[in-house]
Amino acid sequence: MSATLRGLHQSALEVIQRPASEDSVTDSFGQFIQGVQPHHLTPTLLHRSKRMVLDSIGVGLLGSTTHVFQLALQHCQHMYAPDDVSSVYGRRGTRLSPTLAAFVNGVATHSMDFDDTWHPATHPSGAVLPALLAVSDMLPNNRKPSGRDFLLAFNVGIEVQGRLMRFSNEAQNIPKRFHPPTVVGTLGSAAACARLLSLERSQCSHALAIAASLSGAPMANAATQSKPLHIGNAARLGLEAALLSSIGLEASPRVLDDTSGVAGFSAFYEDYAPQPLTSPEEAGLRFLLEDQDMGFKRFPAHLGMHWVADAAASVHKLLLGELGSQGMGRGSQVVGQVQDILLRVPHSKYINRPFPESEHQARHSFQFNACSALLDGEVTVLSFSQEALQRPDLLALLGRVRVEHPHDNPANFDNMYGEVQVTLVGGDVLKGRCDTFYGHWRNPLTNESLKKKFCSNAGAVLPREKVEGLIEAVEGLDSLEDCSPLLAQLQ
Amino acid sequence: MDVTSLGFYSENSYYGYKGSMLSPLIKFLCLFQSVTESFGAAISSLNAVHLTDTVIHRSKRMMLDTLGVGLLGTSTAVFSKALQYSQFFKSVERSSVWGRSGMTLPPQYAAFVNGIAVHSMDFDDTWHPATHPSGAVLPAILALAETLPTQTSGLDLLLAFNAGIEVQGQLMRFSKEAHNIPRRFHPPAVVGVMGSAAASAKLLALSPAQCVHSLAIAASSAGAPMANAATQTKPLHTGNAARRGLEAAKLALLGLEGSQAILDLESGFGVFYSDYSPSELPGTNGGCGGGFRWVLEEQDVAIKRFPAHLGMHWVVDAALEARAKLGASGEPDLCKVQKVVLRVPPSRYIDCPFPAMEHQARHSFQFNACSALLDNQVSVNSFSGPQIDRPALRELLAKVRVENPQDNHPSFDKMYCEVTVEMEHGESVTARCDTFYGHWRKPLSQEDLVGKFEANASTVLSQEAVESVVDIIGNIEKCPDCTVLRSYLQMSRPTTHLFREHLG
């Protein structure tokens, strides 16, 4: 027998022949998804995940006003008929099949780059929440999940993403190849949906494996209008994977394991070292969200922008002090006074754009965000409108920006800083530095700030009663016997 | 402001330069998009005059073969599950499910399930570098054609089909990695979705820019890990390629945009390969009297004679020849075999000494050699449970040894298989196959190709339907409305109903 020639196929053969390996990483994930219990949700987890749910709904509702959302919705409505099942954010009376609703709501969530960001970097909630809402709509009226079950499924989806990102060093760096939400997000959605659908342990594993064949989109598209579809598809396809698994489709039982010669989930990373999850039956199960909180954005732009915006805002205050006036003509006064602007930021091609030409580019430009904050004292949703992009004051300032990449400023959301140094015409130099922007996990938004962001976002498309109704439903989610009050107010 | 007109201010270049530094840099940086643009331009401008006789001939054979294996594949469990799932969706536009009388699905899901059917038994065409090109394309364009407001002629269909095949062939030539045994991503999931997007874009008559975006959007749906290629999920790789390529084209039609340099960038399509070096497609103008040089013109596909990995075909042909030599003086007594030696290229994926399941049997040099020796043939029926488990076969399997000679490269272009059978009484025969019958160097005769189709299709369709499909595809370039295929593809045998119920 050719022992030397075994390996790939032989290992696949061995896996199939022996009963589902109790010690495989893949199996441990299946066990976790199926076996985790409501009592595992600590007060910290409940608090943090409810904030994520609220923020995610809010940015999704605001995102339903974007062009790309409209396009995605139109596509679904053309290619498919109305299906009175799952609600579409912010569109009264519009419902779609569950996977399609997950898709468009996911697109909405990521459409403005306003959704939550974690460390290692991904946007976890947008891949999970739309899918869970869609599934909840799908379940019969007398079998809706309780708020606690819903939250548990949500946390499963987040936890799976976090764990997967810790399987490689590559995931901790700036992504170069695959856009993280499309790698871990799809499996997160599959895990969450498998949980909410009460799949069996092996079905939970197969849902992850099926999802792996639906994962991975190149970074190049993350700089385009297609990016929000990455989250939309993660939500949709994860749900699809769970549904396919529920009717018996099977895939690789070792998809998360590192089997030599056969790339499973490891296909997406250059270095891959998976670890099994602690069994829910053992003590010591600890969710990552307990130790690593979420970052929430204050304005719709790449997370890195928040550092320079805060730094530039502090320089703006100093500048106003110098200029000794407020109100009319402020912009041109600023422009008149500023000779040179130096930004000290981490090196990252993706967010270094001296003259952004589109909304998307502006959301990914250190220079643009710094100058906007310098002019206005803050960056908001309105800072990225077409008019704002083209205002002469801003363009004038952009022309005076230089960028430096200090060695001590790594491109890493945990360690980076942003420094803005403005040299005035008279020779004075004003400096601002931000190590931790307000909204970062080390300096979290207060509940009040988070609610304010939500009201502003949701209020763009929903009437006041529903905005307040949603806040109430999410705040009390873990006590709701039935999550219908949440579902009923999304449009 | 039109971003695209300012070449290097494209969203994909990360450098910005002020005013006067533009000109020398624009030219250089514009090159960043030229491979992608050349694909968009080619897909959009290809028309009937570019189709050569060879390409028409070969692609019609591919279409017929694909329909046949797809129809047979509708009897599989994975098809059944995918169908069950797909019926969940409602739509106004509907496209046919092959082999299921009167059954329709939303177009993408018809593409999905039919694509799954095509690849469900590993019976579909194989190309070099390796992928299964047709299953990602034909289901998509047939589904799409059923929804178009204007008639789609057979020639339109052929053109779209070939656009889809061509794009796949070109993409696989952009890396050395694509020439090797795939380790990370299953090729149909990488290039197949791009082919489907190209073919769909062609059928929809999209502009060059929209063709570019179809490819870009499709790239975000490409890639599935090899680990699943050893499981029941594998056919979904082809089904999803068909479905999501179609979807990409429809989204591009609505105006969605992706990266305009998707094929140029390492962070674009290059993410799927560790060595990626794209080049522009030649224009369709051809210059000095040359037309469009199709990859299919230079490199034909292989058509399988039985549903197993392509490598099995070499070992089977060698085993059959060895058996014939043994039986030169009467039926060989295979119980008296002492040893069987297989000299094959190294490939862990298809080396399986004791397969326990259908999929493993289709990917086992040992199993296929022994089946050929025992039965004097390998066919669709060779891979059933009872056939896999029969004692005579298990006994023979135990006598097999595999060797990997140095000069035997794991490449469909270069490999060979040698089978040596040593009998107890000392007689020993060896046979070697360099090119199996069905390989592109030794293509199936038209009669045998049609015979394969008929055998497959008649498990599901009525005789009249089988003959009609052969006829329509045979003359597809003259057919004014290709959707006539639809009714025949659903014209099932009267007894098929009972058959299917039995399968559960």
pLDDT single digits (tens) B105-141: 999 999 999 999 999 999 999 999 999 999 999 999 9
Closest alpha carbon within chain A to B253: A75
For testing the chain B interface, which of A262, A270, A364, A397 should be mutated: the one with the most B CBs within 10 Å? A262
Whether residues B11 and A360 touch (CB distance < 8 A) is answered with yes
Residue pairs between chains A and B whose CB atoms are closer than 8 Å = 248
Q: Which residues of B9-27 are buried (b: 16+ CB within 10 A; e: fewer)?
A: bbbbbeebeeeeeeeeeee
Neighbours of A152 (CB within 10 A): 25
Does A77 contact chain B (CB < 8 Å)?
no
Whether residues A219 and B223 touch (CB distance < 8 A) is answered with no
Does A2 contact chain B (CB < 8 Å)?
yes
Residue pair A106/A126 in contact (Cβ under 8 Å)? The answer is yes
- The Cα–Cα gap between B303 and B437 comes to 9
Which residue type does B163 have? A
Closest alpha carbon within chain A to B262: A220
The answer, yes or no, to whether residue B100 has pLDDT greater than 90, is yes
Which of A9, A213, A353 minimises the CB distance to B350? A9
Structure tokens at A489: 């107010």
Whether residues B223 and A215 touch (CB distance < 8 A) is answered with yes
Whether residues B228 and A213 touch (CB distance < 8 A) is answered with yes
CA A288 to chain centre: 16
Whether residues B221 and A5 touch (CB distance < 8 A) is answered with no
pLDDT single digits (tens) B279-293: 998 776 644 445 789
Does A20 contact chain B (CB < 8 Å)?
no
Whether residues A13 and B352 touch (CB distance < 8 A) is answered with yes
pLDDT single digits (tens) B422-440: 999 889 999 999 999 999 9
For testing the chain A interface, which of B266, B348, B388 should be mutated: the one with the most A CBs within 10 Å? B348
Distance from CA of A212 to the nearest CA of B (A): 7
DSSP A183: I
Whether residues A2 and B403 touch (CB distance < 8 A) is answered with yes
pLDDT single digits (tens) B48-74: 999 999 999 999 999 999 999 999 999
Task: Please indicate whether residue B7 or residue A317 has the higher confidence score (pLDDT).
Answer: A317
pLDDT, residue B181, reads: 79
Whether residues A349 and B14 touch (CB distance < 8 A) is answered with yes
pLDDT, residue A38, reads: 93
pLDDT, residue B33, reads: 61
Interface of A with B in 303-362 (CB under 8 A): 349-350, 352-355, 357-358, 360-361
Whether residues A8 and B349 touch (CB distance < 8 A) is answered with yes
**Environment class of residue A337 by beta-carbon count within 10 Å: exposed (0-12), middle (13-18) or buried (19+)?**
middle
Task: Verify cis geometry, omega within 30 degrees of 0, for the bond prior to A98.
Answer: no
- The Cα–Cα gap between A287 and A269 comes to 23
Which of B183, B259, B349 minimises the CB distance to A9? B349
Residues 6 or more apart whose Cβ sits within 8 Å of residue B255: A71
pLDDT, residue B495, reads: 64
Neighbours of B194 (CB within 10 A): 29
Closest alpha carbon within chain A to B189: A213
Does A248 contact chain B (CB < 8 Å)?
yes
Whether residues A264 and B237 touch (CB distance < 8 A) is answered with no
In Å, what is the CA distance from B219 to each residue of B169, B213, B229, B323? 16, 10, 20, 48
Does A219 contact chain B (CB < 8 Å)?
yes
Neighbours of A188 (CB within 10 A): 32
Closest CA to A293 of A50, A91, A62, A482: A50
Task: Verify cis geometry, omega within 30 degrees of 0, for the bond prior to A120.
Answer: yes
Distance from CA of B254 to the nearest CA of A (A): 7
pLDDT, residue A469, reads: 97
Distance from CA of B86 to the nearest CA of A (A): 10
Q: Which residues of A367-380 are buried (b: 16+ CB within 10 A; e: fewer)?
A: bbbbbbbbbbbebb
- The Cα–Cα gap between A111 and A468 comes to 24
In Å, what is the CA distance from B503 to each residue of A405, B76, B359, B483? 66, 9, 18, 30
Distance from CA of B291 to the nearest CA of A (A): 33
Kindly report which listed range (A365-369, B88-92, B363-367) carries the lowest average pLDDT score.
Answer: B88-92
Question: DSSP string spanning A210-256?
Answer: HHHTT---BGGGGGSTTHHHHHHHHHHHHHHHHHHHHTT----TTTT
Does A250 contact chain B (CB < 8 Å)?
yes
- The Cα–Cα gap between A447 and B367 comes to 65
Residue pair A423/A339 in contact (Cβ under 8 Å)? The answer is yes
Residue pair A253/B234 in contact (Cβ under 8 Å)? The answer is no
Distance from CA of A461 to the nearest CA of B (A): 23
Residue pair A22/A279 in contact (Cβ under 8 Å)? The answer is no
Structure tokens at B122: 């590993």
Closest CA to A108 of A192, A294, A237, A232: A232
Whether residues A5 and B236 touch (CB distance < 8 A) is answered with no
Does A242 contact chain B (CB < 8 Å)?
no
Whether residues B16 and A210 touch (CB distance < 8 A) is answered with no
Residue pair B32/B25 in contact (Cβ under 8 Å)? The answer is no
For testing the chain B interface, which of A213, A360, A367 should be mutated: the one with the most B CBs within 10 Å? A213
Residue pair B236/B82 in contact (Cβ under 8 Å)? The answer is yes
DSSP B291: -
Per the listing, tokens 């390409």 go with: B55
Q: Which residues of A touch B247 (CB under 8 A)?
A: 75, 79
Structure tokens at B15: 């450098």
Residue pair B423/B337 in contact (Cβ under 8 Å)? The answer is yes
Q: φ and ψ at B81, to 5 degrees? A: -70, -40
Q: Which residues of A touch B184 (CB under 8 A)?
A: 263, 267
Interface of A with B in 395-414 (CB under 8 A): 399
- The Cα–Cα gap between B35 and B28 comes to 13
Residue pair A186/A215 in contact (Cβ under 8 Å)? The answer is yes
Sheet holding B337-343, edge to edge: B400-403, B337-343, B417-423, B428-433
Per the listing, tokens 């998360």 go with: A256
Distance from CA of B467 to the nearest CA of A (A): 33
pLDDT, residue B183, reads: 85
Q: What's the mean per-residue pLDDT of chain B?
A: 89
pLDDT, residue A170, reads: 87
Structure tokens at B310: 């392509």
Is the pTM value of this prediction over 0.80? yes
Whether residues B231 and A7 touch (CB distance < 8 A) is answered with no
Neighbours of A117 (CB within 10 A): 22
User: Coil, strand or helix: which one is A207?
Assistant: helix
Helical ranges in A329-407 per DSSP H: 330-337, 359-362, 366-376, 386-390, 392-398
pLDDT, residue B460, reads: 95
- The Cα–Cα gap between B423 and B326 comes to 9
Does A225 contact chain B (CB < 8 Å)?
yes
Whether residues B259 and A265 touch (CB distance < 8 A) is answered with no
Q: Which residues of B430-440 are buried (b: 16+ CB within 10 A; e: fewer)?
A: ebebeebbbbb
pLDDT single digits (tens) B173-205: 999 988 887 889 999 999 999 999 999 999 999
Q: What's the mean per-residue pLDDT of chain A?
A: 91
- The Cα–Cα gap between B176 and B370 comes to 34
Containing B216, the helix (H) or strand (E) segment is helix B208-219
Q: Which residues of B touch A97 (CB under 8 A)?
A: 88-90
As a dihedral over the C-alpha atoms of residue A301, residue A302, residue A305, residue A310, rounded to 10 degrees, the angle is 60
Neighbours of B428 (CB within 10 A): 14
The answer, yes or no, to whether residue B396 has pLDDT greater than 60, is yes
User: Coil, strand or helix: which one is A387?
Assistant: helix
Ranges of residues in chain A whose predicted pLDDT is under 50: 1-20, 328
- The Cα–Cα gap between A225 and B11 comes to 10
Does A102 contact chain B (CB < 8 Å)?
no
- The Cα–Cα gap between A462 and A91 comes to 9
Closest alpha carbon within chain B to A84: B90
Closest alpha carbon within chain B to A6: B348
pLDDT, residue B285, reads: 60
pLDDT, residue B327, reads: 83
- The Cα–Cα gap between B304 and B299 comes to 16
